Chain A
Amino acid sequence: MPRLTRRDLLLRATAIGCSAAASPLVTPVAFASAPTENRLVVILLRGAMDGLDLVQPYGDPGLAAARPGYAIGPGDGARDLDGFYALHPALSGLWPLWQAGQLGFAHAVSTPYRNQRSHFDGQDLLEAGTQAGTAGLSHADGWLNRLVQTLPGARRETALAVGAEEALILRGAAPSVAWSPASRLALSPATADLLSMVYHDDPLFREAFEDAEFYSGLLHGDFGADDTGEDGMMAMAESLRDGGRTVSPGSLAEFAAERLRADARIASFSIGGWDTHRGQDHRMARALNHLAEAITELHAGLGAEWDRTMVLAMTEFGRTVRINGSGGTDHGTGSAVVMAGGALRGGQVFGDWPGLGEGDLFDGRDLMPTRDVRAYAAWAMAGLFGNDRAMLERHIFPGLDLGADPRILL
């Protein structure tokens, strides 16, 4: 075939023995310039993360009172952050980032979602980025997509949803790429050629196939190898069997970092496991290990680009202040947001602390939100991409009161 496809470029790159990811030859649009050099990664913590366990306000006597016998504060292994808050021990691996001012938190935040406490509706609202009122949210577009719409020169490759599940946060008018590192297109070169021939007259199939070969090849480097026949079949069958679900958060982050170093600027993926109704001590530690792994991979994978990167990890709502009868916590309201990146003015816990006394709680049971979590995302975008107040409050986060600048960026 006379056309030079992405796969041809890839084959050439593999043949001369350079790493596919590092070669400028193989980026899909190596000739056009990217819309911005700054990067934003949004990690969705699905299942309602307990912010009080992540960043423990051990200086507030209300916490120990509500969680008798539960590990709290530096006395139980948490890292003291500032004499009032302490960091859950499972995030100790991120301590160097905290010390470097590249890790920070904002406490007592939430979306506008109140009183219903459904994961699904809460997550829909978190991703839609709109005001409360959940009816019709499933038709909505996502706030990251609305951000991409404002980036001059944004292309399809600019925004990336990593993982198998549909990402409402990136759904909308601006094009984006969705790819899971578990997806696998491992065809023998001959079969791939025949498929190209079969897809040639159908532009929809032809272009999607080229992209699939490109992204799959980046991860697995299958093309040009001799043994893709039966092994490739096995690999594809395995990736189907997994349904894309068993990919570790570290692999999601590794793939995101690789694309962000090339031509992606916005990336999003999810980490689950936060719905700690029972046995919170070990379940929380496991979920936090995944979060730490993801941030570590982003840091390592982004290299020099880390300095222009902001990572936000947000959840749909928090959990009850009180520990329940099964050593867990139930669906609540206020939680915390995790921030990381070289662009962050970290090493501090942002936000107004509402207190944990009886009268301080939301609905008598939950951490009272003192700020809309969207405000932190909005100020991050203002700093990274120059979005102005009107754009943020009306278009990207309709109904948001941006409030004072928390100065989260350097």
Chain B
Amino acid sequence: MTLVVPPDQIRFGTGLVPGRPALTAETMLSELAGPDRMAAAFPQDSFDTRMAFARDYSRLTRARRDSDADEEAFRAIRRQLNDDLTMQLATTLSRGVADPSGLRERLTWFWADHFTTVGQRRLMRGGITAHVEETIRPHVAGRFGDMLEAAILHPVMVLYLDQERSYGPNSITGQRRGADLNENLARELLELHTVGPDGGYTQADVREMAKLLTGLGIGDDGLAFRPNNAEPGPEVVMGRSYGGADPAHLSEIRAALQDIALRPETARHICRKLVDHFVSETPDPDLLAAMQAAWRVTDGDLHAVMTALMTHPAAQVPGQGRVKQPLHLIASTLRALDIPAEGLARAPARRLRRFVERPLAAMGAPWQGATGPDGYFDDDAEWIQPQVLAARIGWCMTTPVALRRRLPDPRAFLRDALSDTAPPALERAAARAESRAEGIGLILASPAFQRS
């Protein structure tokens, strides 16, 4: 069997759309450098809006504790929150469906997972999408250091990784209350967000990093810096000295994050992760070297790094690549079926839960529900465990017929979805299916479509 290379728009974007020519890597990259049209066409709530909502939510939660009469108001706002979360998902999905190539959406999903936040506390519910929208998305084609700085220095991240509960033992507050460090954010910053688990840091570096981050907190209007909580510096992290101003200042943390972003260990960790996600679980050394070189030359410009990745011959691996994550699978299915994104944004929350939100959970990727700061387990074998494969097959077999009044002929759909890359066995199977729904389902459930 000869294996062909899938179109760039399948491997790096959100898939093909019937009647529209597939974009090349070069075109996709030049669109990525241009304005973010999808953010304007499908807006998300701002973080300020979510802060105000979270305040109302807390107020009603307290009121309900004191009096049964406020139960109804609490239920209403809880319903509103659930609907808002579903709409945030619908908006995220709409962009993946509507964008010409889907590259910016794939990158946003990748980086949202890299900087995963989860949880039920205060701002976390309802605020995660705004964290992604305001700190990650603007930088997916910009400098990694800027993304790192924005994503870490945000109330959602500070709250999620307990940074507001971390006090320098020798700070004014630490001395007065005997309070101590919380290393959570410092550890994840090194292990997950920057240099990686094999980045060569020690427990002492984690501790120094934790001291450097003290002072970060959350105020009424968002991120706050409290010098009284900050450990007197300077701190030495992986051989470099940061901070030390008296009083301590937020700008010292900014400078440290920018510096760590440029470390070669960070470049290596992130480039490996990008190749793993977009191309192959066994990365090609030349490809990695080209990406790391681009990182070095451009001080971590992610557009340059993605250009090095997408235009490298080793990225053109023949045959099917990584298994699509569930949101990617759903977006690419809706594209192949030519279902307009505008309809998604208008759909009632009940329908979105049924066809998108619950199936995502059944496929092992509950919306904003990763188990920890390391995000989803991005491993082909995990995504295709028997139980979640059953959910994928079930969705592929039953959803198209529920979303489109008349399904296309499976033989034509095969070209829409896969261009001319469908393996012959799939072509034969699709032609022999018992019904249109089953033919479409077979194509969507096939490795050729499930992988990118």
Complex Cα distance A325/B428, Å?
67
Q: Collect the chain B residues with CB atoms within 8 Å of residue A241's CB.
A: 354, 358
Inside 8 A of B437's CB, which chain A residues have their CB? 233
**B-contact bits for A16-43, CB 8 A (1 contact / 0 none):** 0000000000000000000000000000
**Complex Cα distance A243/B381, Å?**
21
Q: Which residues in B have their C-beta under 8 angstroms from that of A226? A: none
Point out the residue from A124, A134, A168, A236 that lies within 8 Å of B397, measured CB to CB: A236
Contact A215 B386 (CB under 8 A): yes
| From B402, B434, B447, contact of A188 by CB (8 A) | B434
A202-B447 contact given A183-B390, A243-B361, CB 8 Å threshold:
yes
Beta-carbon contact of B423 and A139 below 8 Å: no
Nearest chain B CB to A77 CB, angstrom units: 26
Which parts of A176-219 form the interface with B (CB within 8 Å)? 177-180, 183-185, 187-188, 190-191, 194-195, 197-202, 204-205, 208-209, 211-212, 215-216
Q: Within the complex, what minimum Cβ distance (angstroms) separates A48 from chain B? A: 14
CB-CB < 8 A to A136: which residues of B?
187-188, 191
Given contacts A137-B372, A138-B374, A237-B394, contact A212 B386 (CB under 8 A): yes
CB contacts (< 8 Å) of A200 on chain B: these are 425
Give Cα A151–Cα B395 distance, bound, in whole angstroms: 37
The residue on B at minimum CB distance from A237 is B398
- CB-contact partner of A212 in B187, B188, B390, under 8 A: B390
Flag whether A239 is at the interface (Cβ < 8 A): yes
Number of residue pairs spanning A and B whose beta carbons lie under 8 angstroms apart: 142
Q: How far is the CA of A89 from the CA of B362 in the complex (A)?
A: 36
Residue of B nearest to A140 (CB): B372
A120 near B: Cβ within 8 Å?
Answer: yes
Our pick among B380, B394, B441 for the contact of A184 (Cβ within 8 Å) is: B394
Which A residue sits closest to B438, measured CB to CB?
A191
Given contact pairs A120-B119, A177-B386, A240 touches B394 in the complex (Cβ within 8 A): yes
B390 near A244 with CB under 8 A, answer no
Interface residue? B176 (CB, 8 A):
no
Does B4 interact with chain A (Cβ within 8 Å)? no
A180: chain B residues within 8 A (beta carbon): 387
The chain A residue sitting closest to B393, CB to CB, is A185
A190 CB contacts on chain B under 8 angstroms: 434
B442's partner among A166, A185, A194, A209 (CB-CB below 8 A) is: A194
> Which size bracket describes the interface of B in this complex?
35 or more
Name B424-452 residues within 8 Å CB distance of A: 425-426, 428-429, 432-434, 437-438, 441-442, 445-447, 450
B394 near A179 with CB under 8 A, answer no
Whole-angstrom distance between the Cβ of B195 and the nearest chain A Cβ? 15
| Given A137-B372, A243-B361, A197:B428 Cβ within 8 A | yes
| A404 in the interface (beta carbon within 8 A) | no
Assess whether B387 is in contact with A201, with CB atoms less than 8 Å apart: no
What is the CA–CA distance of A229 and B438 in the complex, to the nearest angstrom?
10
Within 8 A of A (CB), among B357-403: 358-359, 361-362, 364, 371-374, 377, 380-381, 384-387, 389-391, 393-395, 397-398, 401-402
Measured CB to CB, the closest approach of chain B to A403, in angstroms, equals 29
Q: A410 an interface residue at 8 Å Cβ cutoff?
A: no
Tell me whether chain B's interface is mostly helix, strand or loop, or mixed.
helix
The reply to whether A243 and B362 contact each other, CB–CB distance below 8 Å, is yes
Given known contacts A183-B391, A185-B393, A205 and B450 CB-to-CB distance under 8 angstroms: yes
* A388 interface residue (CB < 8 Å to B): no
**CB <8 Å contact, B447 and A198:** yes
* Residue from A184, A204, A326 in contact with B384 in the complex, judged by beta carbons closer than 8 Å: A204
Residues B389 and A236 in contact, CB atoms below 8 Å apart: no
Contact of B425 (CB < 8 Å), options: A134, A187, A198, A209: A198
Which A residues lie within 8 Å of B441 (CB)? 191
Contact B387 A212, beta carbon cutoff 8 Å = yes
Rounded to whole Å, the gap between the CB of A236 and the closest CB of chain B is 4
The reply to whether A211 and B434 form a contact with Cβ atoms under 8 Å apart is no
Residues of B near A134 (CB, < 8 A) are: 184
Tell me if B76 is interfacial: C-beta within 8 Å of chain A: no
B428: which A residues are within 8 A, CB to CB? 197
Residue A64 at the chain B interface, CB threshold 8 Å:
no
Nearest-CB distance from B166 to chain A (Å)?
Answer: 11
Indicate if the CB atoms of B381 and A166 lie closer than 8 Å: no
In the complex, residue of chain B having the shortest beta-carbon distance to the beta carbon of A244:
B362
Alpha-carbon separation in the docked complex, A239 to B434 (Å): 22
Query: Using Cβ atoms and an 8 Å threshold, which residues of chain A touch B184?
Result: 134-135
Residues of A near B240 (CB, < 8 A) are none
Q: Is the CB of A198 within 8 A of B361?
A: no
Does the CB pair B371–A166 fall under 8 Å?
Answer: yes
- Determine if B301 is an interface residue (Cβ-Cβ < 8 Å): no
A60 CB–B CB distance under 8 Å: no
Quick one: which of A205, A209, A243 contacts B359, CB cutoff 8 A?
A243
Q: Does B37 contact A (CB under 8 A)?
A: no
B390-423 contact mask (Cβ, 8 Å, vs A): 1 or 0: 1101110110011000000000000000000001
Indicate if the CB atoms of A178 and B393 lie closer than 8 Å.
Answer: no
* Cα A124 to Cα B184 with chains together (Å): 15
The reply to whether the CB of A66 lies closer than 8 angstroms to some CB of chain B is: no
Q: A237-B402, A240-B395 are in contact. Are A208 and B389 (CB under 8 A)?
A: yes
Chain B 98-135 interface residues, beta-carbon cutoff 8 Å to A: 119-120
Of the candidates B358, B394, B433, the one having the most CB atoms from chain A within 10 angstroms of its own CB is B394
B364 interface neighbour in A166, A205, A209, A229, Cβ under 8 Å? A166
Q: Smallest CB–CB gap between B328 and chain A, Å?
A: 17
Contact: A124 with B394, CB < 8 Å?
A: no
Q: Are A139 and B372 in contact (CB under 8 A)?
A: yes
> In chain B, what residue has the closest Cβ to A325?
B65
B183 at the interface (CB under 8 A from A): yes
Q: How far is the CB of A260 from chain B (nearest CB, A)?
A: 18
Bound form: Cα–Cα A343–B11 in Å: 54
Considering only CB atoms, which chain A residue lies closest to B361 in the complex?
A243
Q: A197 — which chain B residues lie within 8 A by C-beta?
A: 425, 428-429
A191 engages B387 (CB within 8 Å): no
- Chain A neighbourhood of B69, CB < 8 A: none
Q: Is the CB of A179 within 8 A of B387?
A: yes
Q: Counting CB contacts under 8 A, is B40 at the interface?
A: no
Q: Check A243–B372 contact: CB distance below 8 A.
A: no
Do residues A191 and B425 form an inter-chain contact, with CB atoms below 8 A? no
Q: How far is the CA of A205 from the CA of B323 in the complex (A)?
A: 10
Complex: how many Å from CA A125 to CA B443? 42
Distance of A62 Cα from B218 Cα, bound (Å): 40
**Cβ of B425 to closest chain A Cβ, rounded Å:** 6
Q: Give 7 nearest A-B pairs by CB, closest first.
A: A138-B372, A243-B358, A236-B394, A211-B386, A212-B386, A237-B398, A202-B447
Jot down 9 A-B pairs with beta carbons below 8 A, ordered by A.
A134-B184, A138-B373, A177-B386, A183-B387, A197-B429, A198-B429, A198-B445, A204-B381, A244-B391
Residue ranges of B at the interface with A (Cβ–Cβ < 8 Å)? 1, 65, 119-120, 183-184, 187-188, 191, 320, 323, 354, 358-359, 361-362, 364, 371-374, 377, 380-381, 384-387, 389-391, 393-395, 397-398, 401-402, 423, 425-426, 428-429, 432-434, 437-438, 441-442, 445-447, 450
A interface with B by C-beta (< 8 Å): 120, 124, 134-139, 164, 166, 168, 177-180, 183-185, 187-188, 190-191, 194-195, 197-202, 204-205, 208-209, 211-212, 215-216, 229, 233, 236-237, 239-245, 325-326
Contacts A136-B187, A164-B387, A233-B401 supplied; 6 other A-B pairs, CB < 8 Å: A197-B428, A202-B447, A204-B380, A209-B386, A229-B434, A233-B397
